[in-house]
């Protein structure tokens, strides 16, 4: 039996997609320790997985990118936070190694310091990616703005310009990280995309055709389909009473001040047939007024428990909710609010499994119209659900990890 350390950033949207791999490794006879949010210890221990709380100093470095103006400001704010966590992660992951002595580590793509320390040890390790992969490709658009795949020379020129701009924006944070990596004896990164190709395997939690098909996938990137674990929960007692079609409206579990999505949905769908289910997550439910008796507004309900019983999902475009809906064959309306959400929204639109509605275009009327269109795209959502299943998931991850040796990382294509 070997010991495996799974190390995540302080976000449930990064922990939950890897719990299925933790359980599969455990069932294969390995000892698995998941280092993550302190508050998630009870959920992990309840399913038989060892929990180690990450250092409080890491959790104290909050993502405040939602306060920044524009895509550029949000991107730079997120990079600054990840770079600020990195020194704390170095100490924390070293303490984990000293304590549990893992034979293999699997590190969150947002844990820059942990990845640097693990790489410097020269032992087998993997990285996992729970959101859209920001690595250049001849077939995929530049990461960030939510472009469709390039089709013309003008599109490809556009993508080169955007990648160059991203490289410049990331340079201060990458420079800070390279200083830390140098102190640890890890080689420097040529740019942010290089970070994701340093390990022996990148466990990418999605699959084609939701992800854009590429001819130039790096050999270390493995598309597994999404990780859909969530804490066990029963459907709420009121769900069966609500008439169909049922629209689930969901916003970010990490504060993004995206309440306008809920407000537009409640107003736009007030006169539509069926019912509305709203989960407010980081926002207080008392902010919102139900338009009729077939509306339920709650802070939280398990999406895993209700997804098979809804007909359309309206969301900010977080990968967790987006892929859970698609895995259940449920079409979406995505209103990207920041971070990587333009990318997930565009993939929904491009795959034909739903509608992307720009934040600046959000209104009750446009959202209502988008829901009407999305309801006709169930067949494409079901096709993606089948592709997710065929990707292999956690069982395929176990086989990949079993073959890891000391990595010789490729460079960015």
Say what the alpha-carbon torsion angle 189, 193, 198, 200 is, to the nearest 10 degrees. Answer: -170
Decide if pLDDT at 408 tops 70: no
**pLDDT the model gives residue 280:** 93
Contact present, 94 and 70 (Cβ < 8 Å): no
Contact present, 372 and 328 (Cβ < 8 Å): no
More confident residue, 282 or 96: 96
Select from 368, 165, 406, 376 the least CA-distant residue to 271: 368
Exposure string for 110-122, b = 16+ CB within 10 A, e = fewer = bbbbbbbbbbbbe
- Which H or E run contains 249? strand 246-250
Gap between the Cα atoms of 26 and 45, Å rounded: 12
Half-sphere exposure of 61 (CA within 13 A, CB side): 21
More confident residue, 357 or 409: 357
- Over residues 166-172, mean pLDDT: 93
- Over residues 99-117, mean pLDDT: 97
Confidence of residue 407 (pLDDT cuts 50, 70, 90): low
- Over residues 112-117, mean pLDDT: 97
pLDDT, tens digit (0-9, with 9 covering 90-100), for 179-203: 999 999 999 999 999 999 999 999 9
- Over residues 290-301, mean pLDDT: 94
Gap between the Cα atoms of 202 and 185, Å rounded: 22
The backbone torsions φ and ψ at residue 127, rounded to the nearest 5 degrees and listed phi first, read -120, 150
**pLDDT the model gives residue 77:** 85
> What is the percent of the chain where pLDDT is above 90?
87
C-beta atoms surrounding 288 within 10 Å:
18
DSSP helix/strand/coil, 210: coil
Average pLDDT over the chain reads: 93
Gap between the Cα atoms of 196 and 407, Å rounded: 13
**pLDDT the model gives residue 1:** 63
- Over residues 139-159, mean pLDDT: 95
Looking at 1-10, 71-80, 130-139, 319-328, which range is the least confident one?
71-80
- Which H or E run contains 327? helix 319-327
Decide if pLDDT at 282 tops 90: no
pLDDT, tens digit (0-9, with 9 covering 90-100), for 49-82: 999 999 999 999 988 766 777 777 778 888 899 9
Select from 336, 334, 337 the least CA-distant residue to 381: 334
- Over residues 86-113, mean pLDDT: 97
Decide if pLDDT at 259 tops 80: yes
Beta bridge partners of 298: 279
Confidence of residue 255 (pLDDT cuts 50, 70, 90): low
Which domains are seen in the chain, by residue range?
3-225+392-402 (3.40.50.2000), 239-389 (3.40.50.2000)
Decide if pLDDT at 281 tops 90: no
**pLDDT the model gives residue 20:** 97
> What is the percent of the chain where pLDDT is above 70?
96
Decide if pLDDT at 105 tops 60: yes
Strands 246-250 and 221-223: unpaired
C-beta atoms surrounding 163 within 10 Å:
18
- Over residues 317-326, mean pLDDT: 94
């Amino acid at each position: 039996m070997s010991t495996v350390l799974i190390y995540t950033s302080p976000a449930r949207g990064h922990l939950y997609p890897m719990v299925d791999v933790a359980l599969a490794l455990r069932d294969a006879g390995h000892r698995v320790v998941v280092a993550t949010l302190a508050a998630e210890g009870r959920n992990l221990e309840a399913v038989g997985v060892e929990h180690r709380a990450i250092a409080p100093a890491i959790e104290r470095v909050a993502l405040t990118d939602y306060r920044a103006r524009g895509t550029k400001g949000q991107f730079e704010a997120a990079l600054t936070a990840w770079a600020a966590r990195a020194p704390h992660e170095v100490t924390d992951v070293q303490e984990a190694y000293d304590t549990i002595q893992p034979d293999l580590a699997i590190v969150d793509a947002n844990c820059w310091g942990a990845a640097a320390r693990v790489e410097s040890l020269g032992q087998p390790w993997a990285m996992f990616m729970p959101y859209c992969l920001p690595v250049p490709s001849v077939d995929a658009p530049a990461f960030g703005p939510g472009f469709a795949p390039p089709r013309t020379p003008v599109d490809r020129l556009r993508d080169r310009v955007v990648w160059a701009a991203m490289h410049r924006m990331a340079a201060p944070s990458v420079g800070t990280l390279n200083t830390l990596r140098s102190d640890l004896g890890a080689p420097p990164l040529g740019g942010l995309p290089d970070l994701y190709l340093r390990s022996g395997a990148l466990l990418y939690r999605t699959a084609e055709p939701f992800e854009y098909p590429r001819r130039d996938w790096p050999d270390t990137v493995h598309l597994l389909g999404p990780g859909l674990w969530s804490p066990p929960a029963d459907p709420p007692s009121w769900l069966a009473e609500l008439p169909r079609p049922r629209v689930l409206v969901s916003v970010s579990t990490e504060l993004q001040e995206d309440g306008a999505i809920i407000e537009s949905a409640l107003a736009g769908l007030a006169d539509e047939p069926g019912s509305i289910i709203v989960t407010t997550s980081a926002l207080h439910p008392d902010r919102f007024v139900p338009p009729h008796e077939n509306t339920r507004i709650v802070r939280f309900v398990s999406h895993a428990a209700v997804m098979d019983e809804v007909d359309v999902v309206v969301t900010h475009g977080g990968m967790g909710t987006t892929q859970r809906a698609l895995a259940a064959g449920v079409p979406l309306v995505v209103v990207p609010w920041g971070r990587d959400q333009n990318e997930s929204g565009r993939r929904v639109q491009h795959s034909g499994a739903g509608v992307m509605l720009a934040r600046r275009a959000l209104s009750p009327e446009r959202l209502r119209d988008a829901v009407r269109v999305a309801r006709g795209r169930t067949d494409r959502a079901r096709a993606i659900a089948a592709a997710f299943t065929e990707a292999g998931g956690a069982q395929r991850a176990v086989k990949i990890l079993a073959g890891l040796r000391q990595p010789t990382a490729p460079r960015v294509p």
